[in-house]
Chains A and B, each alone.
Chain A
Amino acid sequence: MTQLLHELERRARTRPWDVDALLAQHVFPVVEGRNVTFVYRGEAEHVRLQHWIHGLQSAQPLTRIAGTNLWALTIDLPEGSRMEYKLEVEQYGHKRLVQDPLNPHLARDPYGANSVAYGAGYAPPEWTLFDAESRQGELVDHWIQSDFLGKRPFQVYLPARFRRTRRYPLLIAHDGADYVRFAGLKTVLDNLIHRLEIPPLVVALIQSPDRLREYAADDRHARFLVHELVPLLENEYPLVGKPSGRALMGASFGAVASLHAAWKHPHFFDLLALQSGSFVFTDIGDHQRGPLFDPVVKWVNEFRKAPGRPSERLYVSCGKYESLIYNRSLVPLLQGTGMQVHFSEAPDGHNWENWRDRLREGLSTLFPGPLWLVYE
């Protein structure tokens, strides 16, 4: 039992009126080495920690401290980890998922927000935070009329000090608006460019209204990228205009869309950043992931049989707390094609802040900046 729990129990027994003061002295969950202690205060029949860590029991019960409405659970969380979670509070037979009232840290995503626990030694990387010294890039609104996907808006990030007399590399980010909202992509780009860790680049932030279909190894989407979006961008902006200056990036289904588009159109995009790709395959039997995964599995199986050499340099990342096997097993296959593959595993899950925290490594792998040569 941790020191905190001892003290909580003691105080609940001897000075119950003073428990709130003790809670107020701590930031929850309380981290003591690898022990992370969650506390909930409130009437309930059961309280559980819901954390989505692949491989662990996903709803772990908190234990009531006898004679109180305090509930607690200590888990082992390796150093440097990030864990998103909610508390499942059950009362009168009714279960509801709530953010941890004692934890101020939230991680947002398109579905709302989760509480987030930081393991010992974890802090959001400073390059993800706004830096007043970094020159600010600009987001420009666009739309495109696609024969394949219909009319849709997108945004383009232009780096600070953008000028038309220079040629820029192009990065196309799937779920780009989500990358900006939930992974701080614009701030990260501003910071990394300012710090010379990546060169100034143009980033197309595309967003699909139906990503689970369009990003699921859909040929229409690949054709949209190659035959419509890139030509429009290369016409509109001063871009390098060669495979070596074109990159695709995506997370989850966005990673599938990226690798699939590169595979369907080899040597068009030399650079790929694939984060927590949903590269589900079946060597035997059914995938049991539901019908939305059918086209993904069909294509990944096909890709595994004949990967070819669609690109040149890849950054592949995955959380250790998600279904790592699909990405981990893909790496030797990708390396076997002769492509340069940088693979990174992090103690985190399938979420936007994991993808945010890997952006420095991923972007600088694809686009090494002039860090060593420029001193302004």
Chain B
Amino acid sequence: MAPRSKVVLLGPQRLHPTLNLAVDALGVHGRIAAITAGWEEREGEDQELSAHLGGRTINLRLWERAADVSARDPELLRGWRARIDAQREIHEIYKLRLGHEMECARELLRREMQDPTRELVLAECEGAIEAVRQLDAFHLKRTRAVHDEFMELWRPHERESVARHRREIAAILREVECLCVAGGHVARLVDHLRLFGIFGLMPEMPVVAWSAGSMALAERIVLFHDSPPQGPGNAEVFEVGIGLYHGVIPLPHAAKRLKLDDPLRVRLMARRFRPAFCAVLDPKTRLDWNGRRWRGETGTLRLCEDGKLAEVNAA
């Protein structure tokens, strides 16, 4: 997917909504398409969102449309499920390998931080982080292959069960000035965006996304939590995203999900995903992509390789 020229990423909207301000700043005065498929069965409960935007939203109802496709096209559904099963298995294997690689990288980074002058350790640490990066890249390649194979084999956009919805969606998208993509379940969301090939149908217009919405639109989807109830809390590359923008790993709810005061974890994450920067997308934050570069609203932070946080614009 070629990057779009206008993408805005916002922090979570539930308690501190700023979407209306972002839309106003984009000069959008007309109707706005909304995607809330990440909310799954609550997709239609978008009254607050609609009211927040002055009642001018049209929900693309991707969750509901996908249910219709499943009911009408059981053959495609079987293929869809087989793809998800394959992807799940690949991901389990990736996690197994990742656990070992991350344990090693974390330990060497700990040693590097204890004595940053020891070149022997520096080289080993860089190598360990590079091994994680290579594993991430390999996993991404594997998940991309699964997607490509599915698209090649089933050609969902050409099947009438999907094509009829695509025609309706395309008609809606011709009537709106902006698209907003809400959060929720990131795997479901990206699946639905892909099933209907939303961005292939969309004329040039600004896209505003938050939480899982911002993650689904990235080049790669990175799942993260530093202190889950079980396990070491290794961030995972989940799969390829839509690729609507480049260069950022969005981290919604970062203050809650990450130990941002732990220099080792911050440092490791920043080094693992460079040259992309890891953006802290907490409430009231905002990042603007103009097709070439990012600009962050004051207070929007990124993870730095020295283990600290810094303003995005200071990069």
> A-side interface residues toward B, CB under 8 Å?
133, 161, 163, 165-166, 195, 197, 360-361, 364-365, 368, 370-376
Q: Determine if B15 is an interface residue (Cβ-Cβ < 8 Å).
A: yes
Across-interface contacts of B211 in A (CB, < 8 A):
375-376
Q: Could you write out 23 A-B pairs with CB less than 8 Å apart?
A: A161-B42, A195-B256, A360-B229, A361-B230, A364-B229, A364-B230, A365-B230, A371-B229, A372-B228, A373-B185, A373-B186, A373-B223, A374-B183, A374-B184, A374-B212, A375-B12, A375-B211, A375-B212, A375-B252, A375-B253, A376-B14, A376-B183, A376-B212
B93-125: which have CB < 8 Å to A? none
**Which chain B residue lies CB-closest to A135?**
B14
**Chain B residues within an 8 Å CB radius of A372:** 223, 225, 228, 236
A365 to B231 alpha-carbon distance, docked (Å): 11
Across the two chains, which residue of chain A brings its CB closest to B211? A375
Taking the closest CB of chain A, its distance from the CB of B54, in whole angstroms, is 22
A375 with B41: CB separation less than 8 A: no
In the bound assembly, the distance between CA atoms of A372 and B230 in angstroms comes to: 11
Collect the chain B residues with CB atoms within 8 Å of residue A371's CB: 225, 228-229
List, in ascending order, chain A residues with CB within 8 A of B12's CB.
375-376
Q: Which residues of B contact A365 (CB under 8 A)?
A: 229-230
* Chain A residue at minimal CB-CB distance from B13: A376
Complex formed: what's the CA distance from A12 to B184 in Å?
Answer: 63
Residues of A within 8 A of B223 (CB): 372-373
Contact of A375 among B15, B184, B228, B230 (CB under 8 A): B184
A168 CB to nearest B CB, Å: 12
13 additional A-B pairs beyond A365-B229, A373-B185, A375-B184, beta carbons within 8 Å, are A133-B15, A163-B41, A165-B41, A371-B228, A371-B229, A372-B223, A373-B187, A374-B184, A374-B185, A375-B183, A375-B215, A376-B183, A376-B211
- Please list the residues of chain B having a beta carbon within 8 angstroms of any beta carbon in chain A: 12, 14-15, 38, 41-42, 183-187, 211-212, 215, 223, 225, 228-230, 236, 238, 252-253, 256
Distance in angstroms from B58 CB to nearest chain A CB is 22
The interface residues of chain A lying within 8 Å CB-to-CB of B212 are: 374-376
Q: How far is the CB of A375 from chain B (nearest CB, A)?
A: 4
Give chain A nearest CB distance to B202 CB in angstroms: 23
Closest Cβ neighbor of A133 among chain B residues: B15
With contacts A163-B41, A166-B41 known, is A374 near B229, CB below 8 A?
no
Chain A residues contacting B183 (CB-CB under 8 Å) are 374-376
Chain A residues with CB below 8 A from B252, complex form: 375
- What's the minimum C-beta distance from B151 to chain A, rounded to whole angstroms? 22
Chain B residue at smallest Cβ distance from A195:
B256
CA distance A368 to B229 in the complex (A): 9
Contact status of A375 and B225, CB under 8 A, knowing A163-B41, A166-B41, A368-B230: no
Chain A residues with CB under 8 Å of B184's CB are 374-376
B228 touches A197 (CB 8 A): yes
**A-chain residues with CB within 8 Å of residue B225 when the two chains form the complex:** 371-372
B residues near A195, Cβ cutoff 8 Å: 256
Contacts of A165 in B (CB 8 A): 41
Which residues in A have their C-beta under 8 angstroms from that of B228? 197, 371-372
List residues of chain B with CB within 8 A of the CB of A374. Answer: 38, 183-186, 212
CA distance A300 to B291 in the complex (A): 68
Q: Of residues B14, B15, B230, which shows the largest number of chain A Cβ atoms within 10 Å of its Cβ?
A: B230
Chain B residues with Cβ below 8 Å from A360 are: 229
Most buried by B among A133, A365, A370: A370
How distant is B44 from chain A, measured CB to nearest CB, in Å?
11
Q: Which residue of A is nearest B235, CB measured?
A: A372
* A374-B212, A375-B211 known; A197+B229 contact, CB < 8 A: yes
B263 shortest CB reach to chain A, Å? 21
A371 to B257, CA, bound (A): 10
Contacts of A368 in B (CB 8 A): 230
Q: Tell me the minimal C-beta distance from B92 to chain A in angstroms.
A: 13
Residue of A197, A360, A361, A376 ringed by the most chain B CB atoms within 10 A? A376
Which are the 9 A-B pairs with shortest beta-carbon distances? A364-B229, A375-B212, A375-B211, A372-B223, A375-B252, A376-B183, A375-B183, A197-B229, A374-B185
Q: B253: which A residues are within 8 A, CB to CB?
A: 375
Query: A361 contacts B41, CB within 8 Å?
Result: no
Rounded to whole angstroms, the CA-CA distance of A370 and B183 in the bound complex is: 14
CA distance A375 to B183 in the complex (A): 6
Cβ–Cβ < 8 Å partners of B38 in chain A: 374
Q: B14 to chain A: which residues have CB within 8 Å? A: 376
Bound together, the chains give a CA A133 to CA B255 distance in angstroms of 14
- Shortest CB-to-CB span from B19 to chain A, Å, is 14
CA distance A295 to B38 in the complex (A): 51
Docked complex Cα distance between A361 and B227 (Å): 12
Bound-complex Cα distance A250 to B153 (A): 51
Residue in B211, B228, B229 with the greatest tally of chain A CB atoms within 10 Å: B229
- Name the residue on B nearest A197 (C-beta): B229
Q: Note all chain B residues with C-beta closer than 8 A to A163.
A: 41-42
> Contact between A370 and B185 (Cβ–Cβ < 8 Å)?
yes
Contact residues in A for B42 (Cβ distance below 8 Å): 161, 163
Q: How far is the CA of A374 from the CA of B42 in the complex (A)?
A: 14
Bound together, the chains give a CA A1 to CA B114 distance in angstroms of 36
Question: When chains A and B are docked, how far (Å) is the Cα of A368 from the Cα of B228?
Answer: 10
Q: Which A-chain residue is minimally distant from B224 (CB atoms)?
A: A372
Please, how many angstroms separate the alpha-carbon atoms of A195 and B225 in the complex? 11
Give bound CA distance, A368 to B230, whole Å: 9
User: Least Cβ distance of A372 to chain B in Å?
Assistant: 5
